[in-house]
Structure 1
Amino acid sequence: MKKSFLSGAAAFAALALVLTACAEAPDAGNTTSTTTAATTAATNGGEGFKACMVSDSGGFDDKSFNQTSHDGLVKAKEELGIETATIESADTKDFDTNIKAMVDADCNIIVTVGFLLSDATVAAAKANPNIQFAIVDDNPASAADLTNFKPLVFNTAESSFLAGYYAAAQSKTGKVGTFGGMKIPTVTIFMDGFAQGVAYYNQTKGGSVQVLGWDAEKQDGQFVPEPNPFDNIAGGKATAQNLVSQGADIIFPVAGPAGQGGLQVAKESNGNVTAIWVDTDGCVSAEEFCSVIQTSVYKGMDVSVFDAIKAAKEGTFTNEAYVGTLANGGTGISPFHEFEGQVSDELKAELDKIKADIESGAITIESQSQPK
């Protein structure tokens, strides 16, 4: 019998990105260039091919999706012997100008990182048909006919379902919490999967674990306050403290760098609160918090970025979307690291079974934010 978990319908408001000039184009003949709102760095590798990357806010040391995507660029430089260039966005208003800077730097492929860069990336791809573009975390309908545009997306509802089941099994208070950076599909997809995983635990185990911070039916929950919510670590900390004050003992921040505020709350709790990280293995990217990170929901952004660059260099680039799933290893949950001894063999076996059931379709996860 197929089991289905419905997140409910919701309308996502259009994101108006105010794109204004903030950066000078880097000189293609130089190896380093600086801007007023961002820092660019080009490094010499091989000859004749240049791969470039534009970050979302948070920068390439955000311990999250920008950093992991950047790892793919670094790997491409080292293994393919190519030139690379990067530019960091300080704010949404930087996107258009920063992408233009990479166009002016004679890049062969430009990878942009994050859903919020979607409109600017599509516009640049349309204006520059001889340059390949790839974007992490969106597959916009407006780019469907562009042969030089490749979406790199991840069905993290699947892996977050595992994380939700795990959290429900490990919670001592019977309450777990999640919060997001912004109410956008690449955030709520995690929250949907997490909540449905908890619901599945309750269904199969006769439990009553509560999810605080997200109502999948209403598509409404806790988000880090403006301004710049993904960079607002203090706001992330306050949001996490609110969940903990309601009884949550495991928190699942889906907020980029702002999620570090949740890790701070866990670390300051003297063992009463722990966390599950997102986008990358938190014990690697945020090693200082490993003692409170039970596991992480990872996305293989580094692998997909590397593969897109490699294809562009070798002339095999296509506009077919890459979709990371449990089945192809593009997403999953990380090792338990310091919590390994606290995870029973029974729970590990249950997680393996659930993973297999998701892959086979015996369990379906219904989130409108899943990539098509």
Structure 2
Amino acid sequence: MNEQIKALQAEIDAFVISNEGELDSFRNQFVGRKSRLASLFDELKNVPAENRREVGQALNGLKNSAETKFEEAQEAFAGNTADFEVPSDLTVYNPISQGSLHPLTKVRARILEIFNRMGFSVSDGPEIETDFYNFTALNFPANHPAREMQDTFFIEKGAGEIQDDVLLRTHTSNVQIRLMQHQKPPIRSVMPGRVYRNEAISARAHCLFHQVEGLYVDEQVSFKDLKDTLYHFAKEMFGKDTKVRFRPSYFPFTEPSAEMDITCLLCKGDGCNVCKGAGWVEIAGAGMVDPNVLENVGIDSKKYNGFAFGMGIERITMLKYQIKDLRLFTENDVRFLKQFN
């Protein structure tokens, strides 16, 4: 422990703080609650009792040294703030360039608004999840081929060792499981959020994207209820002239399952590179909740049933605003963002 304290003191002394970014980095490494110094304090309980006082004093000295350096640098930056010059004529109008909401934010809000009017609440959950909530409870058996449908980012324990049961969620279905565990039917909610998949970044795919999933569980819920809900959503989001179709599909957590297509808004159904000449674009996957999923969370599948659906916010935004490259959403190009003022 003493060697660790000496090494950390040497790093603190050598750390150069020349801008606010470096000041923030210094705080994260040496001053914050999750800093390396805080980790040493956590390890103090493991020090033999006869040495604990000596090590504790050394740690306090290290803490004071780090905090003093941080506060001095913080004061120095505060003192260098340029004086604000008050204009001589306060009545002169000086136009200020205003920002705007990101297109994904605007579409997300519109999606939630539509489902809110249909009686759906909004639920949220963790982005770092366990295998149970992301896979097992959703009817993905161990070593099942369906797990390979989603390339997963697993969390490392350290030194490159993978922690098999902790991962970045691949869909927001984990929120559905948590919701059903803690709330009795009837349940009617949508779950927006970021999800992660280990995919190559291209015009049509990204390793980080956004989803909205929905869940309705009650007595005597039918597939017609699901179709009517998504049909109404498509008309509200894309316009009354939008054509909708459903195709049979497969998902481990729903049975029967379907995919929902709408007329390609870029080519109006004539065929283009976005719809691959088909004139249709898939926007959602859906189906009736598999009874195994209900039983996994303690809901009586003989009394209750329900439907679930999921859609990508990026896909809907690309269709609504006729955007052909997914990467534009994350490149922060002001020229692109200004179009949505």
Which of structures 1 and 2 has the bigger CA Rg? 2
Query: Which of the pair has the greater relative contact order for Cα pairs under 8 Å at 6+ separation?
Result: 1
What TM bracket, shorter-length normalisation? under 0.3
| TM-score of the aligned structures, taking structure 1 as reference length | 0.23
